[in-house]
Structure 1
Amino acid sequence: MTPPPVRPGSSLVDPPVHPRRSVVVAVATVISLVMVGLLLRLGEFDAAGSAAVHHLRGGPLGPVAEVLYLALKPLPATLTMLAATGAVAGLTRSWRPAVVFSGTIAVTWGSAEAVKLVVDRPRPGLSEAAMATIGRAADASFPSGHVAFTAALVAVCACLAWGTRWRSVVIVLGALLVVCMAAAVVIEGVHYLGDAAASLVWVAGVFPAVRGGWAMAVARMDATLRRRRSHRVV
């Protein structure tokens, strides 16, 4: 018997299998990365490697890194998220995947930005050439919001495509995009290597709990709406 086709977004709204485990991992990730961030702030153990990567800005990778960085600054990233949410709603013809999609990105990305306030690691010293094209970053450095947003976006897109024939394409292209963004922020000199790496760990540890929480919340909302509709019909 042929199994029924998987609708896009079904894996995104599925309730978590081990919700408590996801929460424990998320909490451990938050505590661990805050400690690592404070350690890097004191020692700057990744400064030399970051400076070496930043030197690549003078080569052919510089313009590519600049375009990637400017394309996903906070305002363009927010607009990208909203546009993608609309596309998800149209693709799935349901509000549930769209809400989980945008909510998961917003919380995963926003919580990473909040950690910057706690760690308060200063940005690397930008060259005059870099400041002239991308401007001066006013917030703290650890972790990278650009990388956190990109990784969260790719993760929800992978969940959206899970079980469909597009899964492999989304995972491969998404992983490439995340790697390119992580390299771009260091090449541009706006982040240290540790900032970019921390964002990857952040999303890996926090994303499952955030997605699961949104999935459960949306399922309850949907059940409540269905009950109200049934009561009205009766």
Structure 2
Amino acid sequence: MQTTRHALRTPPTTAPTGMLAFGTQQSKGIVAGVVAVVLVAAFGFAVVRGAAFTRGDLAIDQALSRAHNPVLVALATGAHWIFDPAQAIVLTLLIVIAIIAVTRKIRLGVTFGAVVAISWVPSDIVKILVHRPRPDAAQLLHPFVPAQTDPSYPSGHTVFVASLAIALILLARGKSYQPVVAVVAIVVALVVTSAFPYLGVHYVSDVVASLVWSAGMVPLALSLWNRIVLPRTHRRR
């Protein structure tokens, strides 16, 4: 009888929820990530070997450059600056701190930050390997200043913005407000990333490929994190 009463008084184990409960989709997340990496890398190598495709890409940037509006240029330049690597890191850390402060869940905040970082940083490997030059500033009516000299494909700014947006959507997973978060995050991400071809710092294909990368890499990062790291930090009560 005493054993039975003790069992009744023992609080049930609290299972991870939301972003921390991605375990049931781990296999799908890993497959999505692998497919995205292969597609983005293969497309990048194909593009740098196809001058005709780059000419078409440049024509779009040239048309956007001719259509520059002072207000839109200022907004686009601000977006480009906000999501520069240094500011992107600070923004991610602030969001992590906010998550921990609001939810009182350190693992949730750390998971969010880790997923964004794991999705974003490896894109630089593809950037280095593909080594696609930036759009030729000399052929743009209003080139961006200062000139960007690092490789163009994929767009690191776009990868970060898209990864952040998808991570926010997954953070709200299972909540009543997730549809609102999803709509806002997607719209903001598309508007912000469109600024980069508009400024002439990236080709449109750089941005599209980066969106594909993030769409696959965020589920991959979260799946691996929840499979390898999270079980080692989950303490049963």
TM-score with structure 1 setting the length: 0.84
1:68-217 alignment runs, 5 A limit: 68-126=79-137, 130-132=143-145, 135-217=146-228
3-state DSSP of counterpart to 1:17: helix
Q: 1:33 aligns with which of 21, 33, 40?
A: 40
Per-residue Cα deviation, 1:176-202 (whole angstroms, up to 9, x for no partner) = 111112210001111000000001111
Partner Cα distance (1:52, 1:38) in 2: 25
Q: Partner of 2:7 in structure 1?
A: none
Q: Partner of 1:19 in structure 2?
A: 26
Report if aligned partners of 2:144, 2:201 keep a CA contact under 8 Å in 1: no
Higher mean alpha-carbon deviation, 164-173 vs 61-70, is at: 164-173
Q: Partner of 1:48 in structure 2?
A: 59
Report if aligned partners of 1:34, 1:119 keep a CA contact under 8 Å in 2: yes
Gaps of 5+ in 1: 1-8
Report if aligned partners of 2:65, 2:143 keep a CA contact under 8 Å in 1: no
Distance apart, 1:95 and its partner CA: 1.3
Partner Cα distance (1:20, 1:82) in 2: 28
Is residue 227 of structure 2 the alignment partner of residue 220 of structure 1? no
Partner Cα distance (2:112, 2:135) in 1: 33
Higher mean alpha-carbon deviation, 184-193 vs 44-53, is at: 44-53
Q: Partner of 1:6 in structure 2?
A: none
Gaps of 5+ in 2: 1-15
Q: Partner of 1:4 in structure 2?
A: none
Distance apart, 1:164 and its partner CA: 2.3
Report which of the two structures shows the higher radius of gyration computed on alpha carbons. Answer: 2
TM-score with structure 2 setting the length: 0.83
Partner Cα distance (1:94, 1:18) in 2: 22
Report if aligned partners of 1:50, 1:186 keep a CA contact under 8 Å in 2: yes
Distance apart, 1:56 and its partner CA: 3.0
Report if aligned partners of 1:115, 1:143 keep a CA contact under 8 Å in 2: yes
Q: Partner of 2:8 in structure 1?
A: none
Count matched residues: 216
Distance apart, 1:20 and its partner CA: 2.9
Partner Cα distance (1:92, 1:216) in 2: 22
Structure 1 residues 41 and 174, CA gap change in structure 2 (3 angstroms)? same
Equivalent residue letter for 2:44: G
Higher mean alpha-carbon deviation, 122-131 vs 71-80, is at: 122-131
Q: Percent identity?
A: 28
Partner Cα distance (1:58, 1:97) in 2: 41
User: RMSD between aligned alpha carbons?
Assistant: 2.1
Partner Cα distance (2:152, 2:63) in 1: 18
Distance apart, 1:130 and its partner CA: 4.1
Q: Runs of 4 or more off by more than 6 Å in structure 1?
A: none
Report if aligned partners of 1:146, 1:181 keep a CA contact under 8 Å in 2: no
Partner Cα distance (1:198, 1:190) in 2: 15
